[in-house]
Amino acid sequence: MVSFLSCFGGSRQRERRILAKKEEAARNLDQLPSWTAPDNTLILQAFEWHVPADHRHWLRLKSALPEWKAIGIDQIWVPPGCKGMDPNGNGYDIYDLFDLGEFDQKGAISTKWGSRMELEEMMRQAHTLGIGVIWDAVLNHKAGAEYPEYFDAVAVDPKQRNKEISKPLEIHGWTGFDFPGRGEMYSSMKYHWQHFSGVDWDDKGKKQEIYKILGSNKDWAPDVSTENGNYDYLMFADLEHSHPEVREDLLLWGTWITESLSLSGMRLDAAKHFSTRFQKAFLEHVRERANPNFFVMGEYWTGDVSAIHDYLEEVDNQVVAYDVPLLVKFSKLSHARSPDLRGIFDGTLVKTKPEHAVTFVANHDTQVGQMMETPVASSFKLLSYALVLLRKGGYPCVFYGDLYGIRANVKDPMTPSCDGKLPILTQARKRYAYGEQEDYFDQPNCIGFVRYGNAYHPGLACVLSNDGPSKKRMFIGRQYTNCEWTDVLGYHSALVIIDKRGYGEFPVNAMSVSVWVEAAAVKRDGLQKDFNVNIYDY
């Protein structure tokens, strides 16, 4: 009995020490940089893979922009709107960077997304609302050449691209790009075999292989991912970024499109597949010539956080990168039975380099059936988005397919993710997710955290459960004694009263999230509860 009481007393003492430490962390908040930090920003990926090829997407986005602004979105990442080889394709089969839906090429004037005039109308609306636009830049390859050309090449092992598996041979590859519909407008550059480093089809032998093009000083770029030995080649006709004419044309395009559309940033597609030295030179050029505050997201797709660190170092930390390791964790945990949540941020970019992490739950590449399919179970998406949107660190990016639902078939119903609560979470981020953060990651299946607010915004308390219903006792601050806090997600009608020590007992439903804010602040600010999910009615 004595032993039991001794252990019990020691446990209570440890609890008191932990609570005292948490209370101390909440003092003197007005002395910290977070007290006067600027308002949160939020990116929306404004498309998904199955957007219908009705050539009306720019108009659709223009109509939706005011509603997005109202729920806290201030940057949109738009699809690659340059002409692809398929006018109904998503633009990653890039044909002509300088055709934004203006010239009759590849069987159409408009791209899948619409015409250049409609794109410019959407851009004007975005600028009026103070919404920045991030362009999806496909700079790794070209597709849809007008004609094939003869040149020397060597086949390489697809699993080890530095290993040659054939003798040098003459092949007939699709590398002739004249852009007859555009002519000399905007750029006089024509592309030929010497401007590329590899192809995957020999029209002479009717054979598919990965062919490295041979020539003076030609080889795979050395500063790319070392997966498969060297991962320079990805698809189509692979651009050689060390060629001075290629380099000059791409730098010209970067400043041209940034100035023409007043872009706020770019996403570099396939960043692990083309020269990091060129990427660095490209963004420095655009920042110097067109926009000194140009925001760049590098799509360096790997679950290895150390490899992402290496990439960031190679570009002098001048870009941000996708936190793929965090997404992989979300996906794995979401398909396990009641996994331990306490280490959910271990080994992630947002934990190790939060100022360089784009945090996300899904995108067009991770959808079912896509190249980087990494599905997060629907029951876990609300938890994932709460961890992405409401915590410190990172640049959160919300997915269009989660906000509205995926439309793989025109007859399919559109079902938004997160029980339709995602617009409430984005508003909670914009209004309440500020200030210092205190974590309560002390139970395997129920974790929580508090944001203490700052000079301009109140804070919040968030509790997450991936098992049964639970509660989390968390310190809010003695200034809130006897104040009522409400769950802005609406899952709990009862209010939580903060006790005299500044603590609240915050409940959460099974496999759910609750987000608590002082009721007076919610009443004062209001939250937009009505959100039009019928995006294709625009």
Q: What's the pLDDT score for residue 29? A: 78
How many other C-beta atoms lie within 10 A of the C-beta of residue 351? Answer: 17
Q: Could you report the per-residue pLDDT of 473-487, keeping only the tens digit for each? A: 999 999 999 999 999
pLDDT at res. 37: 85
- Give the range among 25-34, 42-51, 346-355, 467-476 with minimum mean pLDDT: 25-34
State in words which class domain 147-239 has.
mainly beta
Range(s) within the chain of domains with CATH label 2.60.40.1180: 17-37+432-525
3-state secondary structure of 162: strand
Q: Residue 4 — pLDDT band, cuts 50, 70, 90?
A: very low
Confidence of residue 22 (pLDDT cuts 50, 70, 90): low
In the chain, CATH 3.20.20.80 sits at 45-139+244-431
Report residue 360: phi and psi, to 5°: -155, 165
> Among 382, 328, 385, 326, which residue's Cα sits nearest to residue 353?
326
Tell me what pLDDT residue 528 has: 84
pLDDT the model gives residue 53? 94
Q: Choose the CATH number for 45-139+244-431 among 3.40.50.2020, 3.30.70.20, 3.20.20.80, 3.40.228.10.
A: 3.20.20.80
List of residues 6+ apart from 148 with CB closer than 8 A: 172, 173, 174, 175, 176, 203
Q: Which two tokens stand for residue 497?
A: 């009263």
At 363, give phi and psi (nearest 5°).
Answer: -155, -175
- Please, where are the H alpha helices in 27-115? 57-70
Residue 410 has pLDDT above 70, yes or no: no
- Residues marked as catalytic: 269, 299
Per-residue DSSP letters for 308-347? Answer: HHHHHHHTTT-SEEE-HHHHHHHHHHHTSSS---TTTTTT
Asked whether the predicted pLDDT for residue 208 surpasses 90, the reply is yes
- Residues with Cβ within 8 Å of residue 420, at least 6 apart in sequence: 531, 533
Model pLDDT for residues 366-379, shown as the tens digit of each residue: 998 898 999 999 99
Q: What residue ranges of the chain are covered by domains with CATH 2.40.30.140?
A: 147-239
Buried b (16+ CB within 10 A) or exposed e, 364-398: bbbbeeeeeebebeeebbbbbbbbbbbbbbbbbbb
Q: Is the pLDDT score of 5 beyond 50?
A: no
DSSP conformational letter for 202 = B
Residue 17 pLDDT more than 80? no
Q: How large is the average pLDDT for residues 124-151?
A: 98
> pLDDT digit string (tens) for 73-127?
999 999 999 999 998 999 999 999 999 999 999 999 999 999 999 999 999 999 9
Please tell me the predicted confidence (pLDDT) of residue 9. 44
Residue 36: pLDDT band (50, 70, 90) is confident
pTM for this one? 0.94
Q: How confident is the model at residue 12 (pLDDT cuts 50, 70, 90)?
A: low
Class of domain 17-37+432-525: mainly beta
pLDDT at 30: 76
Indicate the pLDDT class of residue 25, thresholds 50, 70 and 90: low
Residues 420-457 pLDDT 10s = 999 999 999 999 999 999 999 999 999 999 999 999 99
268-306 confidence digits (pLDDT tens): 999 999 999 999 999 999 999 999 999 999 999 999 999
Work out the mean pLDDT of the chain and round it to a whole number: 94
Using CA atoms, how far apart are residues 33 and 338, in angstroms rounded to an integer? 37
| DSSP state for residue 195 in the 8-state scheme | G
What's the confidence (pLDDT) of residue 6?
37
Tens digit of pLDDT for each residue in 235-273? 999 999 999 999 999 999 999 999 999 999 999 999 999
Residue bearing the bigger pLDDT, 41 or 19: 41
